[in-house]
Structure 1
Amino acid sequence: MKIGELFSVRGKVALVTGGSRGIGEMIARAYVENGVRVYITARKADACDALANELSKSGECISVPGDISRLDEIDRLGTEIEKREDKLDILVNNAGASWGANFATFPESGWDKVMDLNVKSAFFMTQRVLKLLQAAGSEDDFARVINIGSIEGMRTSHLEAYSYAASKAAILHLTRMMAKYLAKNHIAVNAIAPGYFPSKMTDAIPEDESEVIEGHTPMRRWGRPEDMAGVALYLASRASGFVCGSTVVVDGGLATTG
């Protein structure tokens, strides 16, 4: 098989949660520019609509804003997709949040908000569009669910973001659980564990700390959009046809060599 066929995603349909910025935007952009019809959702409608308008100049991108930390909003989003599509080839569970505070003062609100969005929504979003994923998958070409974890779910972080680290460890194991039980439906579930990429979440990191992170990364830089695009395209294409329950770490060696 030629490389163009092996890595092609043209003609597929995808939903990217948290798709209006950061890693979600990087993935959505990669898919749109390579022939995927992409639905993006995010809590802030203006940002979601603006990116969809921009990406539509390069292909097909539809904005469906919503707060998927709520089950009723997950159901509404699923209904909107069902009105327009009879299958869903790719689901990227990317929506996420973080919360930092020292152990003694870490609040319940910072725990619940992060766990609900980072873990609960990924499970119930997949459950809600299960029939669409089943309709897309076949024995020769499975539908794909890609959960966005983090290296902070694999290592002991220097940041006191307790619920974030716990949620990302949970999403990596949830990926393995989902992979085991959804494969019978011709759905392959995998995860990406990013290191440090430019995003609103990492914008809060002070410059001196950013330099420390870069210095401890063997490749001596942060992630770039094309780094995330390449992995997202791989996991959505036939190139990863026998990959199931795996986590692809994209961190320049930061967590994997430390």
Structure 2
Amino acid sequence: MDTQSLFNVEGKVVLVTGGAKGIGRMISEGYVTNGATVYISSRDAKACEKAVNELNALGKGKAYAIPADFYKEEDCKKLAEEFAKRESKLHVLVNNSGSNWGAPYDEYPSAAWTRVLTLNLHRLFLITQLLTPLLEKGAGEGDPARIINIGSVDGLRVPALETFAYSASKAGLHHLSRVLAYHLGKRNITSNTLACGPFESKMMAATLKKYRDVIEGGIPLGRIGTPQDVAGACLFLSSRAGSYVNGATITLDGGTVINARL
């Protein structure tokens, strides 16, 4: 029961959506440096290529890119088809791709709901559904296949920023993940969520630039998340150590949600 075997992901095949940038890039590096074969996918083909080159320079594991625009249903299907040509099984699916939209309540557009819910919920479900046969093949005795959904603390609390569609989509994702845990657990596939607090990412860049001191002041640990924080959580959920965790929403936020206010 040593840590090397408990947290081992060497040789596992992993797909990270949105794996070229931000939190997805942090997660991808965690898997590659620990010996996994990682496929990253997003609509930015150049970013995917750059990330793959950087990741492969780290050694131990391997990284490959399959660019796809998840707003397009046909691209989701092409991703699953291309992945199936390259691999016979999938051990870990990390659903990380997502979008946000902020606007004042009185001006909040209908288009925001369509765009955000499509990517953050609808396409996430579709990609998971399409890859389920490969996840079933990746599941072994005592070592189920894993789905890790990247949620948000904004799906647990009421955010100050006017990101109505985003907050609703992440709350929906947290519950969708539990529903998947029930139905897919019977097929030896676990489904869990990381409700992430603030990390360095394109989505958070403007907010952190303007409000970093305020944000860190509201976190009991006094800092934003690091690559090691989110990669470590994914490695736990993907290894033997996390094989009995199913249907959980793990808050990865330094204590943001439980911060007491007078």
TM-score, normalising length: structure 2:
0.96
**Any residues of structure 2 matched to 1:1-258 within 5 Å, and which?**
1-57=1-57, 58=59, 59-205=61-207, 207-258=209-260
- Contact 1:149/1:192 (8 A) holds in 2: yes
- Contact 2:218/2:259 (8 A) holds in 1: no
Query: How far does residue 138 in structure 1 lie from its aligned partner after superposition?
Result: 2.4
- Contact 2:146/2:189 (8 A) holds in 1: yes
Q: Identify unmatched segments of 5+ residues in structure 1.
A: none
Q: Please give the secondary structure, in 2, of the residue aligned with 1:28.
A: helix
Q: Distance in 1 between matches of 2:258 and 2:239?
A: 25
Q: Distance in 2 between matches of 1:208 and 1:17?
A: 28
| Counterpart amino acid of residue 257 in structure 1 | N
| Counterpart amino acid of residue 48 in structure 1 | C
Q: Please give the secondary structure, in 1, of the residue aligned with 2:199.
A: coil
CA pair 222-206 structure 1, distance change in 2 beyond 3 A: closer
Q: Distance in 2 between matches of 1:206 and 1:44?
A: 23
Task: Give the paired residue count.
Answer: 258
- Contact 1:69/1:120 (8 A) holds in 2: no
Residue identity (%): 44
TM-score, normalising length: structure 1:
0.98
- Superimposed CA distance per residue, residues 221-251 of structure 1 (whole angstroms, 9 cap, x where no aligned partner): 1111111111010011010111000011110
Q: Distance in 1 between matches of 2:17 and 2:132?
A: 15
Which aligned segments of 4 or more residues in structure 1 are displaced greater than 4 angstroms?
A: none
